[in-house]
Structure 1
Amino acid sequence: MPNNLTPTEFLYGCSIGPAVLELRPDYRALLLVVEGINPQAKADIADDLIRRAEAHATALLAETPVDQLPQISAWRETYRAFGAKPQRTRNSLEALTRRAAAGLPRVNALTDIYNAISVLHQIPLGGEDFDLYEGPAQLSRATGDEAFDTTAGGETVIENPDAGEVIWRDGSGVTCRRWNWRQGKRTALSENTATAFFILDALAPMTNEELEAAGEALSHALESLGTDVQVSKRMVGAQ
């Protein structure tokens, strides 16, 4: 059933489980709900952001190995802390940064914008369809029984996270595995998405000011995707 919460009700219902903050007491997430998106919008700003992100990644990697970039290093350490192997399951920021120097994937204006902002601000950033959520988002450690819908061999399959794995979920099941590794199909953005939900993940040494700046950059860019775009946001986690 479609999400029947207002953006404010949804955002203030989102939560982070105590076991997650025990793992990383410095963790913060900036949550955004963006309404009024025109799914067919073409935005020149997306092309510009992609070019800038590719150039930024090239410059970063010319001076520093990818696994030593501050946020990527912090997320690799965190993945190890809950039993994931970062060499095999790369967080979304690392995966995009590695690809950016050779050319970021192009999907549509909405996805291209948030991928570019992720690389430019060096922050894991996930985007999903707000209307497909069932209740608020929750970040917790998995029991291992939760359902996660994904694709294998071109077919939709249901997987289960590992016990203790950090997952984003709603009332129906897992929406993203291993904190910010792989998003599920059920709540994925599509060519019909008119209201999107974004999660910007931050660990030290990223500051709250840097996290807010990434959110502002994303909000500003998304305003180009409709004449009635409205952004609601909330920061959760360590304050």
Structure 2
Amino acid sequence: MQFSHANAIWYDYPALTPGVLFAEGVPGDGRAVSGLAHFYALAGARLAAGTEADLPEIQAWRRAFSSMGLKPTQYRCASESLLRRFRKEGALATIHPLIDLCNAVSIAFATPIAVFDTGRIAGGLTVRYAEGNEPYLAFSGEQEYPEPGEVIFADGEGLAHARRWTHRQSVRSAVRADTTAVLIVAEGLHASAGIDVLQIITAVREGLDGLGWQTRKSAVLSQVRPTFEF
């Protein structure tokens, strides 16, 4: 399978830096995640001087959402939503060891991180503009269709696994207790994304090692190296 961004995405968002990681593991081992407090502390320190809206990583995504015709305070990128919750509640909900890890790293770096169960993806994923006929299964169980021109994560069968780019994933490929292989995607649009995304992938890889998952492959992509095979 392959992961990539369509040429039109690279053209419209030349500052984009994606980091990707493919890992496999044993489901349901119940192993606790260590080191989350470190990432929470990093997030807390950054929020001490203001809100998530002040962070350059979030500002870059707000500009991108505005360029897509979306109201940034109505449709937030995933990392902004997590940071907002963390600032108000002082913690994040426990969901799944792998998701808990990626959410913690996401708020520490204020950068959205998506995790897809590759067993529920057909033929890889492409981040592209929607035609409007790609079925998206929401967590509510409702089937939706993206607006034409909306940025989605689409698989080889034309199913949408995320809507409004980094806003929300589909329940279709969400991590479950029986998930055995995942594709993890971190995307930055801010000025230091090239450095930060590499650090994000390293942090996630180290966390996966602690959970007993095996990282098979990882990469930081670019317009000249846009495809990740896994």
TM-score, length-normalised on structure 2? 0.90
1:169 to 154, 160, 171: 154
The offset of 1:207, in angstroms, is 3.5
Structure 2 matches for 1:42-191, cutoff 5 A? 42-45=31-34, 48-49=35-36, 51-101=37-87, 102=89, 103-152=91-140, 156-172=141-157, 173-191=159-177
CA distance in 1, matches of 2:30, 2:16: 34
Post-superposition CA distance 1:45-90 (Å, at most 9, x none)? 1xx31x2333333322221332120100000000011111111111
CA contact (8 A) 1:83 1:165 kept: no
Identify the range of structure 1 (34-43 vs 127-136) with the bigger mean alpha-carbon deviation: 34-43
Please give the alpha-carbon distance, in whole angstroms, between the structure 2 residues aligned to 1:213 and 1:117. Answer: 10
Cα pair 1:41 1:225 within 8 Å, conserved: no
Deviations 1:24-57 (A, max 9, x none): 1111211111012443231241xx31x2333333
Q: Are the counterparts in 1 of residues 152 and 165 from structure 2 also a CA contact under 8 Å?
A: yes
> How far apart, in 1, do the equivalents of 2:205 and 2:47 lie?
27
Hey, what does 1:6 align to over in structure 2? none
Task: State the percentage of identical aligned residues.
Answer: 27
Q: Does 1:201 align with 2:156?
A: no
Spell out, residue by residue over 1:90-130, the C-alpha distance to the aligned partner (whole angstroms, 9 max, x if none): 11010011112321111121111110111112211011111
Aligned-pair CA distance for 1:208: 2.0
State the SS of the aligned residue for 2:210: helix
Question: Does residue 208 of structure 2 align to residue 219 of structure 1?
Answer: no
Letter in 2 for 1:171: G
Gaps of 5+ in 1: 1-9
Take 1:151 and 1:34, find their aligned partners in 2: how far apart are those partners? 24
Aligned counterparts of 2:170 and 2:85: Cα–Cα separation in 1: 21
* Partner residue, 1:25: 14
Q: Distance in 2 between matches of 1:186 and 1:64?
A: 36
Q: Judge conservation of contact 2:21–2:215 (CA < 8 Å) in 1.
A: no
* Amino acid aligned to 2:160: V
User: Taking structure 1 as reference, are residues 225 and 40 closer, same or farther at Cα in structure 2, changes over 3 Å only?
Assistant: same
Gaps of 5+ in 2: 225-230
**Bigger mean CA deviation after superposition, 205-214 or 228-237:** 228-237
Q: In structure 2, do the counterparts of structure 1 residues 214 and 151 end up closer, same or farther at CA, with 3 Å as the change threshold?
A: closer
Distance 2:209 2:27 in 1: 10
Query: Cα RMSD over matched residues?
Result: 1.6
Please tell me the residue identity of whatever aligns with 2:132. G
Shift in Å at residue 140 of structure 1?
A: 0.3
**TM-score w.r.t. length of structure 1:** 0.86
Distance across 2 between alignment mates of 1:37 and 1:123: 27
Alignment-derived partner of residue 3 in structure 1? none
For 1:66 and 1:136, how far apart are their aligned partners in 2? 32
Match of 1:236 in 2: 221
